[in-house]
Structure 1
Amino acid sequence: MARRRKGQAINGWVVIDKPSGITSTDVVNRVRRHLDARKAGHGGTLDPLATGILPLALGEATKTVSYVMDGDKTYRFSLRWGEVTDTDDAEGEVIARSDLRPSQTQIRDVLGNFHGWIDQVPPAFSAIKVDGQRAYDLARDGEEVALSARPVYVDSIELVDLPDPDTAVFEVACGKGTYMRSLARDLGEALGTCAHISVLRRLSVGAFDESHAISLDSLEQLEHVAACEQALLPVETALDDIPALALTETEAKRMRSGQAVSVLARSHLQRLQDLEPGDTVCAMTDGRLVAIARFEAGELRPVRVINP
């Protein structure tokens, strides 16, 4: 007989405003212990230095993590001119220096080079695997890590402040896989100087932003029941940009058993006019998510069934 997993079956999202100085895994473990949750994961790693939006998936919400990971993100970061570090942030060792400090005009003139699809080399200290090993493990062991450039999408990059000659503050909206540390490093190179990130904050990821967030300390000060009531968001919150379609109880039962549901003969037809074959739909009943489904050949076919 398989061993029963410890903890309670809690389903939903908790969005933590991550403090600096701890890993994303540390946050997941602390929240899971405090809520006594059976299963938990996060919707996109933040560096230990970084603060901000860290969505945690509990129970059935872990089935929707990929939709958050694939979502757009926004960041605010402070960049320090004149020094480059081996980690491309303030936690690393300085490996080069420059006395050059770019002007506001010079900075704005290069920002167009970092908009749209760009080729970006990830930091050596990153979770990308090289021959089966994490790049940061190799880098920490003193090995030279050569990562290939890959295409990433930057929707916008804006210079928002120049508080002093050594510092510039930017806000960035971007797609999956874009490293702010690489962006800071490359901005420095484009301006003929050195740069690294000194402060990094994630403002949003996917459907989640600061309006959803609770601090880790605040959550841990709440009793278990109160924490669940105040902080737990429904599983479907992560899928706000995916169209929803209401099912009858009979249809929901079929879908929960893994069967497709025909929708062309019902009142669903008007709602489906904007969908194309292969599009994803949130199948709902009584305001609850039943499944993430794909629309094909006049049917909704379950991709991920969400258990109540």
Structure 2
Amino acid sequence: MNAPFPQPEDAPVPEETARAPRGRGQRQQQRDQAPRAPKRDIDGWVLLDKPSGMTSTQAVAVVKRLFSAKKAGHAGTLDPLASGCLPIALGEATKTVPYIMDGQKTYRFAVTFGVETDTDDSEGKSVAESDHRPSDADIVAALAGFHGEIMQVPPAYSALKIAGERAYDLARGGAEVVLEARPITIHRLELVERPDIDTAVLEAECGKGTYVRAIARDLGRLLGTRGHVSMLRRACVGPFLEEDLVPLDELKARAEASEADLKEALDPVGSALEEIPQLNVTPSDAHRLRCGQSIILRGRDAPVLDGHVAISCQDTLIAIGDAHGGEVLPHRVFNWARQNRPDRPRGPASRDTRPREPEPREEVHAPYYEDQD
């Protein structure tokens, strides 16, 4: 008679399966098995000074991990080549992202003449060259044609979608990418420096949807040469200014120091709404807005509002609404089941970590309402 099959606990372990999986060392396995920090409800804006060489998605992941935040997103992609202002929203601040993305942006960038690339920046391959170099006067004269509302063809390597596919994915796959011209607005574009005959440093203030790489490409062609972006820095986005930016190394140092130091780098949720009208309401009206109901602005002194408004009650931001004809309808309602950190002045001096007396604030207890995107 044959011997019975061994039970699983008695079965010998083959030598090849007892070894550690290939490609994963002991240190990596220890990291995988280490307990992860619990995610927390963190609300506010991190005005990151993104370093060059990092994608916007990578930057968001680093900041989210430093804060152990449950929810995070950014307000406008920066190319890996670019540095500067990358506003990162945590928690309830993600509800204000559209108001930052629609804001005006300021860029400082260098155009290198003589070479046009397939990506319109220095990371791409050369597709056309020219020996001609424009004079300062030629550049200044050409920039006048880029002011106001103009039509611009986005770069082939962009995040725009064609039949559901990202343009840069199609371009990297070797497909021919043809994008239609779109209207954009450039409020200011000027020459600020000419380091050498091959390079011009420009500064632009522009609206949503503007591609600086396309400006460099089109400027080179207009000047009878070729051009691409060799340096790009975003200085400002909406109300967020360059002097308010926090370098990534500073954030990491704060995280190692203490949680309190790290939170000092947060800007309030409402700082994203400084450029839209503000409205203060009574507690009873605040309750209606939290329940998704509209309110009517009555009285001789009632403000005349039209469009988006930031609504507060007792110094606490409660909603973003749409006002028209004296009626205000809530568009985004904030969940302050946990008490929000008091607002602080913005700017470098506001990051002083010396202890301060907390500002008195009356708690507003509100039910939880989940907005539907």
Normalised by the size of structure 2, how large is the TM-score? 0.78
Task: Kindly indicate whether residue 69 of structure 2 is the aligned counterpart of residue 37 of structure 1.
Answer: yes
Residue in structure 1 matched with residue 366 of structure 2 by the alignment: none
- Counterpart of 2:315 in structure 1: which amino acid? G
Structure 1 residue 255: Cα displacement: 1.1
Calculate the aligned-residue CA RMSD, in Å. Answer: 1.2
- Paired amino acid for 1:285: C
Q: 2:52 aligns with which of 17, 20, 32?
A: 20
Q: Is structure 2 residue 282 aligned with structure 1 residue 248? A: yes
| Bigger mean CA offset, 220-229 vs 153-162 | 220-229
Q: 1:109 aligns with which of 141, 144, 148?
A: 141
Deviation readout 1:222-258 (Å, 9 max, x if unpaired)? 1352344321111110110111111122221221111
Q: In structure 2, the residue corresponding to 1:22 is in which secondary structure?
A: coil
- SS of the residue 1:219 aligns to: helix
Further displaced range: 225-234 or 145-154:
225-234
For residue 259 of structure 2, what is the aligned residue in structure 1?
A: 225
Alpha-carbon shift at residue 265 of structure 1 (Å): 3.3
Give the equivalent residue in structure 1 for 2:351. none
* Alignment deviations for residues 200-234 of structure 1 (CA, whole Å, 9 cap, x no partner): 00010111111221011110111352344321111
- Per-residue CA distance 1:60-99 (angstroms, 9 max, x = gap): 1111111111111000001100001110001111121110
Residue 266 of structure 1, CA deviation: 7.3
Deviates more, 1:230-239 or 1:250-259: 250-259
Which segments of 5 or more consecutive residues in structure 2 lack a partner in the other structure? 1-37, 337-373
- What are the residue-to-residue correspondences of 1:65-214 with 2, within 5 Å? 65-214=97-246
Residue number among 293, 296, 304 corresponding to 1:259 in the alignment? 293
Deviation of the 1:290 alpha carbon = 0.6
The CA distance in 1 between the partners of 2:202 and 2:143, in whole Å, is 10
Contact 2:219/2:227 (<8 A) preserved: yes
Question: How far does the alpha carbon of each residue in 1:142-175 deviate from its partner, in whole angstroms, 9 at most, with x for none?
Answer: 1111111111000010001111000000000000
1: CA distance, partners of 2:199 / 2:326? 56
- Would the aligned equivalents of 1:282 and 1:289 in 2 still touch at CA under 8 Å? yes
| Helix, strand or coil at the partner of 1:101 | coil
Whole-Å Cα distance in 2 between the matches of residues 266 and 216 of structure 1?
A: 50
Aligned length: 297
The one-letter code matched in structure 1 to 2:244 is H
Using the alignment, how far apart are the partners of 2:277 and 2:171 within structure 1? 43
| Worse overlay, 218-227 or 282-291 | 218-227
Listed one character per residue, the Cα deviations across residues 109-163 of structure 1 (whole Å, up to 9, x for unaligned) are: 1111111111100001000001110000011111111111111000010001111
What secondary structure is seen at the aligned counterpart in 1 of 2:264?
helix
Query: Which structure has the bigger radius of gyration?
Result: 2
Structure 1 residues 214 and 112: CA distance shift in structure 2, 3 A:
same
Q: Distance in 1 between matches of 2:58 and 2:263?
A: 23
* Cα distance in 2 between the residues matched to 1:153 and 1:14: 27
Matched, 1:280 2:326: no
Q: Is the 8 A contact 1:264 1:299 kept in 2?
A: no
Q: Greater share of strand residues, 1 or 2?
A: 1
Q: Which amino acid aligns with 1:296?
A: H
1:251-291 per-residue CA deviation (whole Å, 9 max, x = no partner) reads 21221111112221375x1xx13x23xx1111101222110
Q: Helix, strand or coil: the match of 1:231? A: coil
Which amino acid in structure 2 is aligned with residue 51 of structure 1?
A: S
The answer for the alignment partner of 1:48 in structure 2 is: 80
Show structure 1 runs of 5+ residues with no match: 1-5
Considering Cα pairs closer than 8 Å and 6+ residues apart, tell me whether 1 or 2 has the greater RCO: 1
Q: Percent identity?
A: 53
After superposing the two structures, state which structure 1 stretch, 257-266 or 233-242, moved more: 257-266
Answer whether contact 2:251 2:262 (CA < 8 A) is retained: no
